[in-house]
Structure formats: structure tokens, C-alpha cells
Amino acid sequence: MARLEYSKKVLEHFTNPRNVGEMKDADSVGTVGNPVCGDMMELSIKVTDDRIADIRFRTFGCASAIATTSMLTEIVKGKTLKEAEELKWDDVVSNLDGLPPVKVHCSLLAVEGLKIALYNYYKKRGIDRPDLAPKETEAEHVHSDEGPSCV
């Protein structure tokens, strides 16, 4: 088995994750998982004045899954909803000073979890945002605030 090389930032976010835990009074939650690798991520957001005032996560997975979700929360906390919507997986990877190629999928999963939380936030307010709707792939189980659904 090949040894994976992780940046200092990945190791720091894995061993000391930021914004971890459940948010009881969340305005929205996005949950996403990949049954192939076993990673599961839950992102909860609190919105004030169209900004992400607080964000928390719970991730079950490898070091890269935890590090990418932790870094994502650091990036979007305090950002406007529009700014958060524009976040891309490579923004997360570059802020971590890279990931091993076989672990980049963790950053895609984390960003998808954020998009689902934003989608659910808008949906609760009667705003249709199909561009943020969960993507249909064979490798993901996506959960809305209304319960799990396999897509």
C-alpha cells in the first residue's frame, strides 16, 4: 500500500478540527455521504442577515474527510450566502495546501454538503434554487432536512 503524504494544514485540521459538533438551533442542515469510501458529513448553518453567522460539522470518515470539512467551515464562516454558494472543491484543497489525488473526492463531498445545506435553507423559505439541488450520482446518499433519500 502506498503511503499518503499530507500537508501540515491537513494534519492540523484533522487533529484539531474547527467548528466541529452539532448545532441544535441550525437554520438548515445538509448531510451527504459516499458509501464507497464510507465518509459521511453533516453541515449545519445559522444564517443572520444573509451571512453564515455560524457553521458546524460532524464527519465520519478519514483524515482528509475531517480536514476538508473543517477547512470548509473556516472558509465560509462569516461569508454571505452568495459567497458560500460560489465555493469550489479546489478552494478547499488549495487552502489545505493540497490533498493526495486519491483523497480529493473528500473536498467534493464537503462542498456538496454545504450546497445541500444552502438548498435546504432556501427551500424552507420558499425559494427555488435548482442550481443548488443535490446532484444525482451513484456514489452518494443525500439527506434533506425532511429525511434521507438515496439519489
Point out the catalytic residue in the list 37, 63, 81, 104. Answer: 37
Rounded CA separation 109/122 (Å) = 20
Identify the CA nearest to 73 among candidates 95, 103, 99: 95
Point out the catalytic residue in the list 29, 52, 67, 106. Answer: 106
Rounded CA separation 118/131 (Å) = 11
Asked about 62 being catalytic, the answer comes back as no
**Up-side HSE of residue 40: CA atoms within 13 Å toward CB?**
7
Rounded CA separation 30/45 (Å) = 9
Asked about 37 being catalytic, the answer comes back as yes
Residues serving a catalytic function are 37, 106
